[in-house]
Structure 1
Amino acid sequence: MAYRSGTDDITFRLPRSRRSVPRARALLHAVLGDWGVGQETLDNAELVLSELVTNALRVPVPGDRQVGVRISRSVADGLLRLEVSDAGGGRPEVREPGEDETGGRGLLLVAALSDRWGCEERAAGIGKTVFAELKAPDIMAGPAVREVAAVMVRAGQTVRVWGEWRSVLRVRSDQYAAGGPAMVLEFDEGPALRVHAAEPLAVRSADRGA
């Protein structure tokens, strides 16, 4: 998917584990903190992402299938978009649970907190992507040099590692043996760097014509 200037996009994958919900929230918190998002928007986004990831984990698919998460922003439009992808079929439906039911209100919450939400077929592969867009008028463009979580690093940026600035050629997501999310950064020279997705790194952004 292509994004115009002024929009940033972060993607990562999570294992099908209960621990993935708090991990997703922690990564979202790191990303939105770097973007200068206000507390109310942050709280709403954490609730929405938690519900979307929880629903994706409940979908009956093979255990080795991961859950994909994308967080993107449009500074020009003041919008935050959350996407969660899974390999399952069907489409999520909002339902009205009875007074005695303790669950089933997740999508009601997503609909209430989102400016717009829906479901799309995955652009590549099987399954679906459920998205939610939230108004975030306080979302900011980042400075030329800043410290960000590793999950936010993109090809074309320059990252300070091993005491030097290195140009990033490729970035891919990975998993530690224990299940934690990792990022692998490949540079124009020298070895690749594998770090935890939430590890802070100093970066310089390429000129994107913003």
Structure 2
Amino acid sequence: MSPDLSRRAMTDSGELDLRPLPPGVEVLLTDVRAAPRLVAHLRAVHDVACQLTEWIRRHHPGVAFDRAAVEFGAAVHDIGKVEHLDELSGPGSAHEHAGYELLLARGVEEPLARFARTHASWTAAGVGVEDLLVSLADKVWKAKRVPELEHLITEHLATANGQPTWEVFMSLDDELDRIAADADRRLAFQASFPITP
């Protein structure tokens, strides 16, 4: 890892105004020698997760969820790619279990480590709204829309607030369009960092 480039990925935002990573995540990514591009990706997804949690707080205040867990989960969801670097630029799911095990080995408690293994499994048993939000952030950061995932979140929000599903969907759709509008800049930010030193 290039410490200077990884540090820059953690602190610079280019043309974006990306939020800082949650406390402890920068140290964790440094300790595992995360590649600069991975750090940039995690930072971009974390920022989108923050936008989603803020939107829910404002528009669906009756929805109970762990905002800090969502934001932490988004900031570490792909950490297993330190062991499966080829999955940074190509498909693969080996990083999911590897990331979960890596986080547990580093002292991260299971309720937070789980995001490494659930971020691509939104239909699995036991997946909660926090997992769905991390999954959504991991898709919409690059303007990818996944109707099945969006439907699950819409249903959860509508049920929790007692609102019509169509009304919640329209509002969520507008927010995802707004977030997706910056996808090119987030992708350029990520691509500005190398996969390897």
Query: Normalized per residue, which structure has more strand?
Result: 1
* TM-score normalised over the length of structure 1: 0.34
Work out which of the two has the higher radius of gyration on C-alpha atoms and give 1 or 2: 1
Instruction: Tell which has more relative contact order, 1 or 2 (C-alpha 8 A, sep 6+).
Output: 2
* TM-score normalised over the length of structure 2: 0.35
